[in-house]
Amino acid sequence: MPKRGAVIKIIDTAGQMQKYADGVREKGKKISLVPTMGFLHQGHLSLIKEALKHGDEVVVSIFVNPAQFGPGEDLEKYPRSFERDCKLAEDAGASIIFSPDKEELYGKNYQTYVNLEKLPMHLCGISRPTHFRGVATIVTKLFLITKPHAAVFGQKDFQQLQVIRQMVKDLNFDIKIIGAPIVREDDGLAMSSRNTYLTPGQRKQALCLSQSLKQAFEMVKSGVIDASRIIEQAEKIISAHPETKIDYIAVCDPDTLSDIKIIQGPAIMALAVKVGNTRLIDNMMINQ
Ligand X SMILES: Nc1ncnc2c1ncn2[C@@H]1O[C@H](COP(=O)(O)OP(=O)(O)OP(=O)(O)O)[C@@H](O)[C@H]1O
Ligand Y SMILES: CC(C)(CO)[C@@H](O)C(=O)[O-]
- The response to whether 215 counts as a known ligand-binding position is no
State how far the Cα of 213 lies from the Cα of 208, in Å rounded to an integer: 8
State how far the Cα of 140 lies from the Cα of 114, in Å rounded to an integer: 8
Strand residues in 9-156 grouped as ranges (E): 9-11, 31-36, 57-62, 96-98, 150-154
How many other CB atoms are found less than 10 A from the CB of residue 176?
15
Query: Which chain residues interact with ligand X by CB under 6 A?
Result: 36-37, 43-44, 46-47, 153-154, 156-157, 180, 182-183, 190-194
State how far the Cα of 21 lies from the Cα of 82, in Å rounded to an integer: 22
- The response to whether 29 counts as a known ligand-binding position is no
Nearest to 18 by CA among 68, 62, 63, 59: 59
Nearest distance, CB of residue 219 and ligand X, angstroms:
24
138 makes contact, choosing from ligand BAL, ligand X, ligand Y, none, with CB < 5 to 8 Å by partner type, with: ligand Y
What stretches of 63-130 show up as alpha helix (H) in DSSP? 82-92, 102-105, 124-127
Query: 154 phi and psi, to 5 degrees?
Result: -85, 145
162 binds ligand Y (CB under 6 A): no
**Which residues are the active-site residues?**
44
Q: Which of 68, 95, 210, 244 binds ligand BAL (CB under 6 A)?
A: 68
Nearer to ligand X, 9 or 194 (CB): 194
Q: Which of 50, 85, 90, 157 binds ligand BAL (CB under 6 A)?
A: 157
Q: Restricting to residues 33-52, which ones interact with ligand Y according to CB under 6 A?
A: 35-37
- The response to whether 16 counts as a known ligand-binding position is no
State the greatest distance between any 2 C-alpha atoms of the chain, in Å, as a whole number.
Answer: 58
Which amino acids are annotated as binding site, given as ranges? 37-44, 68, 154-157, 160, 183, 191-194
Binding site for ligand BAL (CB under 6 A): 37, 68, 157
- Site residues (CB under 6 A) for ligand Y? 35-37, 65, 68, 135, 138-139, 157, 160
Annotated binding site for (R)-pantoate: 68, 160
